[in-house]
């Protein structure tokens, strides 16, 4: 398997499966001299971890990160930052019921096709468990970028959408409700809907919006590594993501240029921000705004028809504790990946001019 690294200069490499002993990662390229608050790292992991509220999976997993290198007397030394997170919840249980089963809309079939074998005790490497490493690394990246702000929130759960503009939202509200929606009334509806869906043994998708603030102009590398192209890759690499748009996004494709162009103020800021803070792949100093679509979780507490590795039809039903909707926990992952992208561009940009 290739592709377990992300970034050019601020580079995260991760390892680990859902049912192995531990997951972990290495951050290579974090500059020396950065004071790191490890409590902030742990706090971000709390936002992603299972069991945090009544509407997420009730699996218990402490998700304690242990840093093994790269930090001395509270500061980064410039050497690689290695860390591990134990899989406390993995059990040497009985997996014979899923060993040969290809669960619908899971990666069981594709892993078998690609690798010829797989760790059948769960999602293995395709489990979203891996994203805990991203959140840990993203929390380091955020500290490198202190001043920039990363604000993700739930903008839709199923068909329940936040029908307000970013300016009308109360971001202080986000962590006040288990859905992480910046509008308490909508949050209540979303929460009720998730509970209803769960009671049906079903699941539902949703949308996360994210705003990156206080971004200096000049970040991003034109052509293949445009700021929004790397953000897009980052978001699409998160489990269950089906789409990415920034600024005006898909709705911008229905507009005319005379509506869509962002006219300048005299200070270089723009009156509107259909651009989403990026022109030609480079940040323009405005807020970077983007949206990420998540599909409904594939594991249902309902009977489903499927096949086994012999191609025989069988019937199966999910067991255990799964999320009815990933969006509330995904908010932390979206912010983390955004921070990884921006940290990389921040470092790259130090070499753009003599």
- 15 to 74, contacts with a copy of itself by CB under 8 A? 15-17, 20-26, 28-29, 31-34, 66, 68-70, 72
Q: Which of 5, 163, 184, 199 binds a copy of itself (CB under 8 A)?
A: 5
109 binds a copy of itself (CB under 8 A): yes
State yes or no: 121 annotated in a binding site: no
Using CA atoms, how far apart are residues 308 and 111, in angstroms rounded to an integer?
Answer: 14
Using CA atoms, how far apart are residues 348 and 9, in angstroms rounded to an integer?
Answer: 7
Q: Which of 177, 180, 194, 246 binds a copy of itself (CB under 8 A)?
A: 246
Q: How far is the CB of 217 from a copy of itself (least distance, A)?
A: 4
Q: Which of 213, 249, 287, 321 binds a copy of itself (CB under 8 A)?
A: 249
Q: Which is nearer to a copy of itself, 138 or 206 (CB)?
A: 206
Q: Which of 47, 49, 118, 180 binds a copy of itself (CB under 8 A)?
A: 118
Q: Position of tokens 């089906």?
A: 242
Q: Which of 328, 285, 287, 317 is nearest to 128 (CA)?
A: 328
Q: Which of 42, 53, 149, 237 binds a copy of itself (CB under 8 A)?
A: 237
Q: Which is nearer to a copy of itself, 151 or 203 (CB)?
A: 203
Binding mask 260-289 for a copy of itself (x = CB under 8 A): xxxxxxxxx-x---xxx-xxxxxxxx----
197 binds a copy of itself (CB under 8 A): yes
Q: Position of tokens 């039809």?
A: 313
Footprint on residues 134-153 left by a copy of itself (CB under 8 A): 144
CB 323 within 8 A of CB 297: yes
CB 340 within 8 A of CB 44: no
Using CA atoms, how far apart are residues 349 and 341, in angstroms rounded to an integer?
Answer: 12
Strands 241-246 and 278-279: unpaired
Q: How far is the CB of 176 from a copy of itself (least distance, A)?
A: 23
State yes or no: 79 annotated in a binding site: no
CB 254 within 8 A of CB 274: no
Q: Which is nearer to a copy of itself, 17 or 183 (CB)?
A: 17
Q: Which of 55, 139, 156, 336 binds a copy of itself (CB under 8 A)?
A: 156
Q: Which of 48, 125, 142, 329 binds a copy of itself (CB under 8 A)?
A: 125
State yes or no: 299 annotated in a binding site: yes
CB 335 within 8 A of CB 134: no
Footprint on residues 158-187 left by a copy of itself (CB under 8 A): 158-159
Q: Position of tokens 């950065």?
A: 34
Q: Which of 51, 173, 252, 287 binds a copy of itself (CB under 8 A)?
A: 252
State yes or no: 96 annotated in a binding site: no
Helix or strand (DSSP H, E) at 137: helix 131-144
Using CA atoms, how far apart are residues 28 and 92, in angstroms rounded to an integer?
Answer: 33
335 binds a copy of itself (CB under 8 A): no
Those residues with Cβ within 8 angstroms of residue 96's Cβ, 6 or more apart along the chain or in another chain: none
Using CA atoms, how far apart are residues 254 and 245, in angstroms rounded to an integer?
Answer: 14
Using CA atoms, how far apart are residues 229 and 221, in angstroms rounded to an integer?
Answer: 10
State yes or no: 48 annotated in a binding site: yes
Q: Which of 94, 165, 311, 315 binds a copy of itself (CB under 8 A)?
A: 311
Q: How far is the CB of 52 from a copy of itself (least distance, A)?
A: 21
110 binds a copy of itself (CB under 8 A): yes
Enter the tokens of residue 292.
Answer: 């990420």
């Amino acid at each position: 398997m290739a592709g377990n690294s992300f970034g050019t200069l601020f580079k995260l490499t991760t390892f680990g499966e859902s049912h192995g002993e531990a997951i972990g990662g290495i951050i290579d390229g974090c500059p020396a001299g950065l004071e790191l608050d490890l409590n902030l790292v742990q706090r971000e992991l709390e936002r992603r971890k299972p069991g945090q509220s009544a509407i997420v999976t009730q699996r218990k997993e402490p998700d304690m990160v242990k840093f093994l290198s790269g930090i001395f007397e509270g500061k980064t030394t410039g050497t690689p930052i290695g860390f591990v997170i134990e899989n406390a919840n993995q059990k040497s249980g009985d997996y014979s019921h899923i060993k040969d089963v290809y669960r619908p809309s899971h990666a069981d079939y594709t892993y078998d096709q690609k690798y010829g074998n797989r760790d059948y005790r769960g999602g293995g490497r395709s489990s979203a468990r891996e994203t805990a490493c991203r959140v840990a690394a993203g929390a380091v990246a955020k500290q490198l970028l202190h001043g920039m702000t990363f604000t993700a929130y739930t903008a839709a759960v199923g068909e329940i959408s936040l029908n307000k503009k970013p300016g009308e939202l109360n971001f202080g509200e986000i962590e006040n409700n288990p859905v992480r929606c910046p509008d308490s009334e909508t949050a209540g509806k979303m929460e009720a809907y998730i509970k209803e869906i769960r009671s049906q043994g079903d699941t539902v998708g949703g949308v996360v919006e994210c705003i990156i603030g206080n971004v200096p102009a000049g970040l991003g590398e034109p052509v293949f590594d445009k700021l929004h192209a790397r953000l897009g890759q980052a978001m699409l690499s998160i489990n269950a993501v089906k789409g990415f748009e920034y600024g005006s996004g898909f709705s911008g494709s229905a507009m005319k240029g005379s509506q869509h162009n962002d006219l300048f103020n005299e200070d270089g800021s723009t009156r509107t921000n259909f651009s989403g803070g990026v022109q030609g792949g480079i940040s323009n100093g405005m807020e970077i705004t983007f949206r990420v679509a998540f599909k409904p979780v594939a594991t249902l507490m309902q009977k489903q028809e499927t096949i086994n590795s012999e191609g025989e039809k069988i019937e199966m039903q999910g067991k255990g504790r799964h999320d009815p909707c990933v969006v509330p926990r995904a908010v932390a992952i979206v912010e983390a990946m955004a921070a990884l992208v921006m940290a990389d561009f921040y470092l790259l940009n130090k070499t753009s001019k003599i």
